[in-house]
Amino acid sequence: MAQIGRDTQLAKGFLESGNVVGIPTETVYGLAGNALNLDAVLTIFRVKNRPSFDPLIIHTDSLKKLDQFVTDIPGPARKLAETYWPGPLTILLPKRNLIPDLVTAGLSSVAVRIPNHPLSLALLRSLDFPLAAPSANPFGYISPTTAQHVADQLGDQIPYILDGGPAGVGIESTIVGFENGKATVFRLGGMALEQIEQVIGPVSVQTHSTSNPKAPGMLSSHYAPRKPLILIAPGKTPEPNKQAGALVFREPFGGISAQHQRILSPTGDLNEAAKNLFAHLRDLDSLPIDIIYAEPLPNQGLGWAINDRLRRASAH
């Protein structure tokens, strides 16, 4: 069983010997390994049971190191990086040969970010390689936002989980790519679209691929609990049902037991809602209920990303 602790030296030792460990980030916990070591990268895919066509994000701690991994940083990409890193934003950039094809699933671009978490930044600073880190959940299941979530699902397969407390943002990073100077968001996430547009102007959003290799891993049934989840229409309420649970924004639904409902943010704060989303979904998944009803949130700020996750979770 994985040891859980706050010892970055211990984590460093495991990573340097090619092992994979759980690491905290501000978005979700990652399953991290040396991105330049094929064995470590293969271990990540095996532990997660992740198909090899789904590329990994590499994590580093400074813009200076980035030049070692990519051949070019377009102007708008640099602007975003300078403004929002460390932070919940991943940028797709043309990769150098140093980055193994296994990491990028054969694509010519690599996804990079600098995570905003003191423990992981300290760890990354101490390493002379970047960390490949997908979310530390079995493929297709809900992403972990605490060290215990990681231990519950992958604890018997990894030696160590670095415990940085509950993730502050709670939803995966926003992914943005550039082609011919044009910015496209491929995954809605912890950095709001409005914030990106403030810096580089209008961006297009392209997240609804079913088998589009441009946004691999963005499969519909991603982020799903084991129980069926029904996304109800805005402003509607579900039929009264003793066997149902609900994930709601500010107030519980009538007709469903209060014990079976989880409120994302009583004050209507979308950042708080994102922070609670995955833990509440996990919680509902463990209750003696047959079905989970979820209420869509306002389409603004992190509401876009939350609604995206709820739609994917409901697509069974």
Token digits for 263?
Answer: 């409120």
Site stretch for Mg ion (CB under 5 A), options 5-13, 32-40, 128-136, 153-161? 128-136
Distance CA 217, CA 214 (A): 9
Those residues with Cβ within 8 angstroms of residue 41's Cβ, 6 or more apart along the chain or in another chain: 33, 34, 35, 56, 100, 102, 103, 132
Q: DSSP 3-state assignment of 79? A: helix
Write the single-letter amino acid at 266. P
Please name the residue that has the structure tokens 């706050």.
6
Task: Kindly state whether residue 153 participates in binding Mg ion, applying the rule CB under 5 A.
Answer: no
Instruction: Say whether residue 45 binds ligand TXA (CB under 6 A).
Output: no
Interface residue with ligand TXA among 114, 196, 203, 218 (CB under 6 A) is 218
306 binds ligand TXA (CB under 6 A): no
- 289 Cβ contact partners less than 8 Å away, ≥ 6 residues apart: 227, 243, 244, 245, 260
Q: Is 105 left (phi over 0), alpha (psi -120 to 50) or beta?
A: left
133 sits near ligand TXA (criterion: CB under 6 A): yes
Phi, psi of 234 (to 5 degrees): -55, 135
| Cβ(131)–Cβ(33) below 8 Å | yes
Residue 117 is labelled as binding a ligand: no
CA atoms within 13 A on the CB side of 32: 31
Please tell me the count of residues contacting ligand TXA according to CB under 6 A. Answer: 28
Q: Residue 53 or 75: which CB sits closer to ligand TXA?
A: 53
Rounded least distance, CB 235 to Mg ion, Å: 31
27 binds ligand TXA (CB under 6 A): yes
CB of 133 to ligand TXA, least distance (A): 5
Stretch of 21-29, 121-129, 229-237, 287-295 contacting ligand TXA, by CB under 6 A: 21-29
Smallest gap from residue 277 Cβ to ligand TXA (A): 13
Between CA 138 and CA 311 the distance in angstroms is 19
36 is a contact residue toward ligand TXA (CB under 6 A): no
Number of CB atoms found within 10 A of residue 286's CB = 11
Which one among 19, 25, 135, 145 touches Mg ion, defined by CB under 5 A? 135
121 near ligand TXA (CB under 6 A): no
Of the candidate residues 11, 111, 281, 310, the single one contacting ligand TXA (CB under 6 A): 111
Torsion of CA 238, 239, 242, 246, to 10 degrees: 0
> How far is Cα 232 from Cα 238, in angstroms, rounded to an integer?
7
Tell which one of 4, 42, 102, 107 touches ligand TXA (CB under 6 A).
107
Provide the minimum distance between the beta carbon of 235 and ligand TXA in the complex, in angstroms, as a whole number.
31
Tokens of 94: 């043309």
229 binds ligand TXA (CB under 6 A): no
Nearer to ligand TXA, 138 or 238 (CB): 138
- 276 part of the interface to Mg ion, by CB under 5 A: no
Q: Which residues are annotated as a binding site?
A: 27, 50, 59, 113, 133, 135, 143, 173, 187, 223
Query: In the complex, which residues of this chain contact Mg ion (CB under 5 A)?
Result: 135
